[in-house]
């Protein structure tokens, strides 16, 4: 049985991953879990997301399907925050994962879908489901089951004891830095060195204590054992599409649609301009297509790279388009344009600056009697390298593939 859940939480509390974690425990007497549960992030531009647009799915081997359905239903009813205006839980239980479900996942991570599309597919495929209130969670629940993790990473999520929910988290920061030092780059985004911050724990009232991301289960467990904190009520190691760029479509500037995420190739048509608040914008162009690309203030030191971009630089940009502007997640600088200034020529003999020989007469060196026609073009040094640059860990999007995962490319990982 493939069980998918989504949209059970609100801004005020709870968390769909926690509900899934509790449900997996409750289901233990009724069957056996197969593989790792899946933590699936869907289109980051989806309008009704609470935070990171997460949905959950796991596989259970059971010969008591009726009881499994009953228990899953009861748990969703018990642990969903039905009072949230935008909480519209969805529970899907399928017998198999079909190609249509996988295609639905690919659309859910890249496009904006409607509830009726999920219902139509569920009905067509004869899949058991229950939607509550508007049932919007059916989109995520179905997509999470359909997710094909051809590329994946892991996240270990540690949950808090119920009595502590809503109170400040007690985590020994030094142990977090130690955990990072021991396991980076097999784990990442635990801390942000440049911005001197621990970034693996939320500050909201939900049950999550922290999450450790990485490519290697052993390294994640090593970091987990190193980190000291308040008691962990439970922890789950999820397989996830986080850090894979699953949301990114290869596109052309002239064809982009709002609420989708792209990799776009082009040339800098307008170098960085800052607006109040520390937000930076560049314009990228290819043929007749032009798009504004933003590095907002929270992207911190990434802006120093964007600031150095000059007219004509050849780039690939990665990010989501909202209201016509692409929010940069990373850039690949393919080629740096030459920047030059016109300077007074140097005397070829004595290497000193020449003087004007009079209006329209060029330049001369009085001492050596040498002559030059006019100013000379001198290339300016570019304080920038080619290759990939990314936003720092404190500004990372869940789905963005971090540069530590881009083997074989020229990368400048933000740490
Ligand atoms: P959390 O991360 O705390 O679990 P969340 O950010 O995942 O919260 P949800 O409460 O799951 O937010 O709400 C997101 C809603 O958007 C869900 O109902 C989900 O089914 C729906 N949704 C997900 N992807 C899409 C999409 N591509 N198009 C339209 N709706 C979507």
In this prediction, residues 41-53 reach a mean pLDDT of 89
Range of the domain at 351: 340-379
C-alpha pair distances (Å), 335 with each of 220, 343, 388, 390: 37, 25, 11, 17
Burial of 195 (0-12, 13-18, 19+ CB in 10 A): middle
Q: Within this chain, do residues 293 and 391 fall inside the same structural domain, yes or no?
A: yes
158 pLDDT above the threshold of 90: yes
β 208-214/153-160 pair status: antiparallel
CA atoms of 100 and 96, how far apart (whole Å): 11
Which atom number of ligand 1 is nearest to the Cα of residue 114? Answer: 29
Tell me, what CATH number does 45's domain have? Answer: 3.30.70.2200
Single out the residue of 56, 46, 387, 59 nearest to residue 242, CA to CA: 56
**Structure confidence by residue, pLDDT tens digits, 382-411:** 999 999 999 999 999 999 999 999 988 999
How many structural domains is the chain composed of? 4
Final residue before a domain boundary, out of 90, 122, 146: 146
82 pLDDT above the threshold of 90: no
Q: Supply the pLDDT for residue 81.
A: 86
Q: Supply the pLDDT for residue 51.
A: 80
Q: Within this chain, do residues 69 and 18 fall inside the same structural domain, yes or no?
A: yes
Tell me, what CATH number does 236's domain have? Answer: 3.90.600.20
Q: Within this chain, do residues 96 and 106 fall inside the same structural domain, yes or no?
A: yes
Final residue before a domain boundary, out of 100, 125, 146: 146
CA atoms of 22 and 32, how far apart (whole Å): 15
Does ligand 1 come within 6 angstroms of the Cβ of 15? yes
Which atom number of ligand 1 is nearest to the Cα of residue 110? Answer: 27
Q: Supply the pLDDT for residue 309.
A: 97
Q: Within this chain, do residues 71 and 106 fall inside the same structural domain, yes or no?
A: yes
| Banded pLDDT at 48 (limits 50, 70, 90) | confident
**Structure confidence by residue, pLDDT tens digits, 102-139:** 999 999 999 999 999 999 999 999 999 999 999 999 99
| Banded pLDDT at 13 (limits 50, 70, 90) | low
Q: Within this chain, do residues 333 and 400 fall inside the same structural domain, yes or no?
A: yes
Q: Supply the pLDDT for residue 9.
A: 84
Distance from the Cα of residue 21 to its chain's centroid: 23
At residue 19, the 3 state secondary structure works out as helix
Dihedral sign computed on CA atoms, order 391, 392, 393, 395: negative
Q: Supply the pLDDT for residue 15.
A: 87
Q: In what order do the strands lie in the sheet with 32-41?
A: 128-131, 90-94, 2-6, 54-61, 32-41, 232-240, 153-160, 208-214, 187-188
**Structure confidence by residue, pLDDT tens digits, 322-341:** 999 999 999 999 999 999 99
Single out the residue of 353, 371, 399 nearest to residue 149, CA to CA: 399
Q: Is the omega angle on the peptide bond into residue 105 within 30 degrees of 0, that is, cis?
A: no
CA atoms of 317 and 330, how far apart (whole Å): 6
In this prediction, residues 280-290 reach a mean pLDDT of 97
Q: Name which residue sits closest to atom 11 of ligand 1, judged by CA.
A: 7
Please calculate the CA angle 4-98-105 and round it to the nearest 5 degrees: 55
For residues 108 and 48, the answer to whether their CB atoms sit within 8 Å is: no
Tokens of 343: 């300077």
CA atoms of 253 and 272, how far apart (whole Å): 18
Q: Within this chain, do residues 91 and 130 fall inside the same structural domain, yes or no?
A: yes
Q: Within this chain, do residues 226 and 273 fall inside the same structural domain, yes or no?
A: no
Please state, rounded to an integer, the average pLDDT across all residues of the chain.
Answer: 96
CA atoms of 145 and 147, how far apart (whole Å): 6
Which atom number of ligand 1 is nearest to the Cα of residue 138? Answer: 20
Which atom number of ligand 1 is nearest to the Cα of residue 42? Answer: 24
Does ligand 1 come within 6 angstroms of the Cβ of 136? yes
Tell which one of 51, 118, 135, 139 to mutate to probe ligand 1, the residue whose CB is within 8 A of the most ligand atoms: 139
Q: Report the separation in Å between the CA atom of 92 and the middle of ligand 1, taken as the mean of its atom positions.
A: 15
Q: Within this chain, do residues 33 and 129 fall inside the same structural domain, yes or no?
A: yes
**Structure confidence by residue, pLDDT tens digits, 170-229:** 999 999 999 999 999 999 999 999 999 999 999 988 899 999 999 999 999 999 999 999
């Amino acid at each position: 049985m493939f069980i998918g859940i989504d949209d059970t939480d609100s801004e005020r509390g709870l968390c769909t991953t926690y509900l899934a974690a509790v449900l997996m425990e409750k289901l233990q007497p009724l069957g056996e879990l197969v593989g790792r549960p899946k933590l699936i992030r869907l289109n980051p531009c989806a309008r009704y997301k609470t935070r990171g647009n997460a949905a959950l799915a796991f596989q259970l081997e059971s010969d008591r399907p009726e009881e499994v359905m009953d228990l899953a239903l009861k748990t969703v009813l018990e642990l969903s925050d039905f009072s949230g205006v935008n909480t519209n839980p969805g529970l899907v239980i399928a017998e198999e994962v079909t190609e249509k479900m996988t295609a639905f996942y690919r659309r859910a991570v890249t496009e904006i879908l409607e509830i009726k599309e999920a219902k139509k597919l569920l009905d067509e495929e004869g899949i058991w489901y229950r939607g509550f209130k508007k049932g919007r969670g059916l989109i995520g629940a179905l997509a999470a089951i359909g997710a094909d993790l051809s590329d994946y990473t892991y996240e270990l999520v540690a949950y808090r004891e119920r009595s502590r929910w809503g109170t400040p988290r007690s985590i020994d920061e030094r142990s977090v830095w130690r955990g990072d030092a021991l396991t980076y780059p097999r784990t990442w985004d635990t801390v942000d060195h440049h911005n001197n911050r621990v970034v693996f724990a939320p500050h909201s009232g939900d049950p999550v204590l922290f999450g450790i991301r990485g490519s290697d289960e052993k390294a994640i467990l090593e970091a987990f054992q190193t980190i000291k904190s308040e008691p962990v009520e439970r922890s789950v190691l999820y397989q996830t599409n986080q850090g894979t760029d699953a949301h990114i479509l290869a596109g052309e500037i002239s064809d982009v649609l709002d609420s989708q995420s792209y990799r776009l190739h082009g040339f800098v048509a307008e170098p960085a301009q800052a607006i109040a608040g520390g937000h930076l914008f560049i314009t990228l162009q290819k043929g007749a297509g032009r798009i504004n690309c933003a590095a907002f203030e929270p992207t911190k030191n990434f802006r120093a790279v964007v600031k150095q971009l000059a007219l004509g630089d050849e780039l690939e940009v990665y990010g989501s388009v909202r209201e016509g502007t692409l929010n940069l997640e990373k850039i690949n600088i393919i080629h740096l344009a030459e920047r030059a200034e016109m300077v007074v020529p140097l005397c070829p003999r004595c290497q000193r600056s020449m003087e004007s020989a009079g209006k329209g007469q060029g330049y001369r060196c009085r001492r050596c009697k040498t002559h030059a026609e006019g100013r000379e073009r001198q290339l300016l040094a570019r304080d920038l390298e080619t290759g990939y640059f990314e936003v720092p860990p404190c500004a990372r999007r869940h789905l963005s593939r971090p540069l530590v995962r881009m083997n074989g490319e020229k990368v400048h990982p933000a740490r």
